Amino acid sequence: MTQITKMTVAIPQIKATSFLTVADLSSEELVQVLDYAAHLKALRKAGTPHPLLQRKAVAMYFEKPSNRTRVSFEVGIFDLGAHPFMLRKEEINLGVRETIADTARTLSRYVDGIMIRTFAQKDVEELAEWATVPVINGLTDEHHPCQILADLQSMRESFGPDLKGRKLVFVGDGNNMAHSLLEGGALMGMDVTIACPASHQPLPAIVDKVKTMAAQTGSTIEISDDLEKAAEGASVLYTDVWASMGQESEKAEREKAFTRFQVNAELLARSESDAIVLHCLPAHRGEEITADTFEKYADIIFNQAENRLHAQKAIMAVLMG
Ligand code: CP
Ligand code: NVA
């Protein structure tokens, strides 16, 4: 039996008290969280109980739909011996029924952690500012940090723990996924290219911040609409929907802008021979990815979805354990 299946691995310590963006972690902390996620995955596969949050309670609040985030958090919280429960928009109505500060201070009197999926990053920041328990960002318009933990865990499973120098290419919209992948890739020392139309680039403020991070880890950051060139040398081709949750009315206009920005066999032929395809899901076949490419990499993509469970358990244990 390897060391990884023993319960003695210490929970990593991090400086941050909440997890709102990937950049809340240092490079070293991120690696430790990912190592811990691998440990928790091995424990679960071995059937070894790991009730690290016994008798705690974790609230989950969603203002957008979810399959993976909802289910992986609920199962993960249960796995850790804590009590998960959902708060609906009709119940909390964040920032409308009462101030965000009052919601934060009230919930902090009952629960040990709050997971939130909403629109504005600033609302999650305000919640975390007033809460006295950890807040975990389960997706905003700007960031999706939990997804990136699972993505990096998946990349390490394919390429080994050291991702330094590997090229990660995100194809599509300069959205929440692009922002969080930029941060995660830079912290891991990866070379990250966002291949997107000039009209849909990531937010300049985030790109600037990530370039500073990249200078410290020796990674490179590129934003380009030259998709074919971007794919050259790629170890990971990553894509996401063209229209995110909340952008449904822009669907037709976005379909036009993104037609070229698709992960398919031709693009893969330009990347490294051992390249993998990742997708945060949900997937729209025939849009950001072809059906045949999706199915070819389905095992990797659904393992990536599974890793949400392990990675989020790790960050919850770190923040609330
Ligand atoms: N990838 C992801 O966050 O999926 P859900 O929207 O289903 O939670
Ligand atoms: N960009 C997508 C990610 C879904 C996990 C969205 O925000 O809808």
Evaluate: CB of 309 within 6 angstroms of ligand 2.
Answer: no
- Write the pLDDT tens digit of every residue in 150-170: 999 999 999 999 999 999 999
| Mean pLDDT along residues 39-64 | 98
Asked if pLDDT for residue 1 goes beyond 70, the answer is no
CB-neighbour burial class of residue 73 (10 A; exposed 0-12, middle 13-18, buried 19+): buried
DSSP characters over 42-87: HHHHTT----TTTT-EEEEEESS--SHHHHHHHHHHHHTT-EEEEE
Please state the atom number of ligand 2 nearest to the C-alpha of residue 177. 1
Q: How far is the CA of 21 from the centre of ligand 2 (A)?
A: 15
Is pLDDT of 5 > 90? no
Phi then psi dihedrals of residue 92, to 5 deg: -95, -45
User: Structure tokens of 91?
Assistant: 């119940």
Q: How far apart are CA 97 and CA 202, in angstroms?
A: 32
Which atom in ligand 1 lies closest to the alpha carbon of residue 70? 8
| pLDDT, tens only, 193-207 | 999 999 999 999 999
Q: What is the pLDDT of residue 4?
A: 47
Cβ of 66 closer than 6 Å to ligand 1, yes or no, is: yes
CA-based nearest residue to 206, from 145, 134, 249: 145
Measured from the CB, is residue 181 less than 6 Å from ligand 2? no
Distance 286 CA to ligand 1 centre (A): 19
DSSP 8-state class, residue 275: -
Dihedral, CA atoms, 123, 168, 170, 289, nearest 10 degrees? -130
pLDDT at 281 over 90: yes
Q: How far is the CA of 271 from the centre of ligand 2 (A)?
A: 25
Q: Quick check: 3 pLDDT over 50?
A: no
Whether the CB of 177 sits within 6 Å of ligand 2: yes
Using CA atoms, how far apart are residues 158 and 304, in angstroms rounded to an integer? Answer: 11
pLDDT attached to residue 2? 43
pLDDT, tens digit (0-9, with 9 covering 90-100), for 124-142? 999 999 999 999 999 999 9
Is the peptide bond prior to 84 cis by the omega test (within 30 degrees of 0)?
no
The pLDDT of residue 225 is 98
Beta partners for 236? 168, 276
Res. 8 pLDDT band, cuts 50 70 90: confident
